[in-house]
Structures are given as C-alpha cells and as structure tokens.
Amino acid sequence: MLPEPRPLDRIDRAILRVLQTDARTSNRALAEHVGLAPSSCLARVQRLVSEGVLAGFHARVDPRPLGLSLQAMVFIQLSTHGGSAIDDFRHRLLALPEVVQLFHVGGAQDLLVHVVVRDSDHLRRLIGDGIAAHREVRHIETNVVFDHDTRPVPVDESPGTVVS
C-alpha cells in the first residue's frame, strides 16, 4: 500500500507539469527549471513516485507506423453486475492486445474500451469474436475515432475555470 501523499507545494506541482510534458527531462534540467539543487530535485521526484503521485513514465507511441490505422471507442453494457463479474470481464478485455485503455463507468454503459486495430475488418472480428461473444455482454456500441487529443492532468491548486 502506498503512503498517504503529503500536500503538494508549488515546486512539486512545477515538477509534475514539466514531467507530464516531457518525462525524459534530465534531473539536472528539471532541477534548474524548478529552482532546486539536483539532489533535492531527485529526492522530490523519488518521493512523488513512492507516494503514488507519479504513477509511471511512459513513451507515447503512434500506432500508425505499426500498421494500426484505426481506433475506436467501444461502449459495453453488461447483463451481469454481481460478484466479480465486472472485474473478471475487465481482466479478459485487458488480455486482448488491441485494448489500450479501459474505463469502468457509471451510467447506461458499464465499460468504455479504447481499441487500436489494423482496419475495419480487424475491428469487426475483435468486436464479434473477442468481445460480443461473451455471455455477460448485453449491448455494444462502437464509435470510430477520427482524431483525438491528450492533455496533461491539471496540477495547479485551482485548475482553471469552466469555459462557456
């Protein structure tokens, strides 16, 4: 179990902003950017990792050069919700290599699954053979993704205002 994270100060938040933009930033450059000695900066990053605030460092891979040119969001409504039904089904979905993100959501649907596939035939087979064939599935809706954007998590104490 992770220790309870301490409140984040302005330097912690600055470290998070930089690392979300470029996780490959060297400790020396990070320390210079946030105004700390490299050893103090490294200690802060290590604390943020040990407390679970920094959950990992990732490379963002463009799926197209890998031959995965189609992305879709698959909304799944399950017929069974009791016991470990949802968790068991989630684990089966996560075993599919095409699944890149999975969300357990509230509302009319139970799961939102982000998939990457080669083409529409691959998507059809994945939905028909890999997802819909399970007895727990009541209903599926699939939306093709034309484009998407990813933003860093807001780390400021008051993360902006609603735009109307």
Asked whether 31 and 43 are in contact (CB, 8 A), the reply is: no
Q: 25-39 pLDDT, tens per residue?
A: 999 999 999 999 999
> What local confidence, expressed as pLDDT, does residue 49 receive?
95
pLDDT-derived band of residue 51, with 50, 70 and 90 as boundaries? very high
Asked whether 93 and 113 are in contact (CB, 8 A), the reply is: yes
SS3 131: helix
Q: Per mean pLDDT, which range of 33-42, 53-62, 90-99 is the poorest? A: 53-62
> What local confidence, expressed as pLDDT, does residue 40 receive?
97
Tokens of 157: 């104490």
Contacts of 107 (CB under 8 A, 6+ apart): none
DSSP secondary structure code for residue 108 in this structure = S
DSSP secondary structure code for residue 129 in this structure = I
Q: 108-159 pLDDT, tens per residue?
A: 999 999 999 999 999 999 999 999 999 999 999 999 999 999 888 999 875 5
> What local confidence, expressed as pLDDT, does residue 75 receive?
98
Residue 160 has pLDDT above 60, yes or no: no
Asked whether 102 and 111 are in contact (CB, 8 A), the reply is: yes
pLDDT-derived band of residue 64, with 50, 70 and 90 as boundaries? very high
Q: pTM, whole model, 2 decimals?
A: 0.83
86 — alpha (psi -120 to 50), left (phi > 0) or beta? alpha
Angle, to 10 degrees, between the axis of helix 10-21 and the axis of helix 38-50?
A: 80
Residue that is written with structure tokens 């139970």 in the block: 110
Angle, to 10 degrees, between the axis of helix 27-34 and the axis of helix 10-21?
A: 140
> What local confidence, expressed as pLDDT, does residue 85 receive?
86
